[in-house]
Amino acid sequence: MKDGELKNLGKELSRFVVGTEGNISKRTADGFRIKASGVSLKYMDEDSYAACTLDGDPTEGEVNRPSMEWSFHSWIFKNSNYQIIAHTHPTNTLKILCTDNLIQEFATKRLFPDQVVFNGEEACVVPYATPGLELTQEIQDAVGEYMILRGEFPKLLLLKNHGIICCANTAKEAIIMTEVCEKAAEIFIGSKSLHSVDFLTDSEVKSILDHEDEKYRRELV
């Protein structure tokens, strides 16, 4: 079965990777579809995915090999209600994720309203691990700690020295989340270079989260 939605999502997100970096997936009735291994997001077509069960096993008749990072997609789908997962390596965000003393501040502070609306109040930071099963285990541990503290599954995961994972309910939301994260990173780096970052206060962030118009905007994507 062809999948135009994944193809279009891949092309939109190809701005945030090079070569065959990154992977995307979508929930299906019997599992999920994920970008096939070795495929470039930029050149995805409607058949450039592997169909898997929720446990990550290829469905009957599947010939494409799933991305080597299939296991964290499987785990997120099994432990949340999200419909789309987008993993990319945005350049400015990655600059921060490769600078240890900046990561926590970028994850927990907010710079402008749309960052709050689309990336959430706080991101989940995941220590570096080798892509594959080791990374999935680190994601499980980091998300578990995040949920104990915040009582909800994170929307945005920041992977040290690696990239980001956006957990979304639509392809449009995944694109916007990635764009907003990268915009925030560019502003953060620029403000740091000017030696003065003026973050939103906790009360300002809460006001944005509770604002009816902002809730409506979140629902539109």
Query: What pLDDT sits at residue 1?
Result: 76
- Round to whole Å and give the CA distance between 79 and 15: 29
| pLDDT value at residue 212 | 86
Longest CA pairwise span in the chain (Å): 57
Secondary structure of residue 33 in the 3-state scheme: strand
Mean pLDDT of residues grouped by 10 in the chain (221 residues)?
Answer: 93 97 97 97 96 94 94 98 98 97 97 96 98 98 98 98 98 98 98 93 95 78 78
CA distance 4 to 100: 39
The residues, ordered by sequence, that sit 6+ positions from 183 with a Cβ below 8 Å of its Cβ are: 114, 115
Cα 29 to Cα 127: distance, rounded to the nearest angstrom: 32
So what's the pLDDT on residue 49? 96
**Sequence-distant (≥ 6) Cβ neighbours of residue 195 within 8 angstroms:** none
Name the architecture of domain 4-220. Answer: 3-Layer(aba) Sandwich (3.40)
Report pLDDT for 135: 98
Do residues 119 and 111 touch, judged by C-beta distance below 8 A?
A: no
Q: Which residues of 171-208 are buried (b: 16+ CB within 10 A; e: fewer)?
A: bebbbbbbbbbbbbbbebbeeeeeeeeeebeeeebeeb
Among residues 146, 119, 93, the alpha carbon closest in space to that of 208 is found at 119
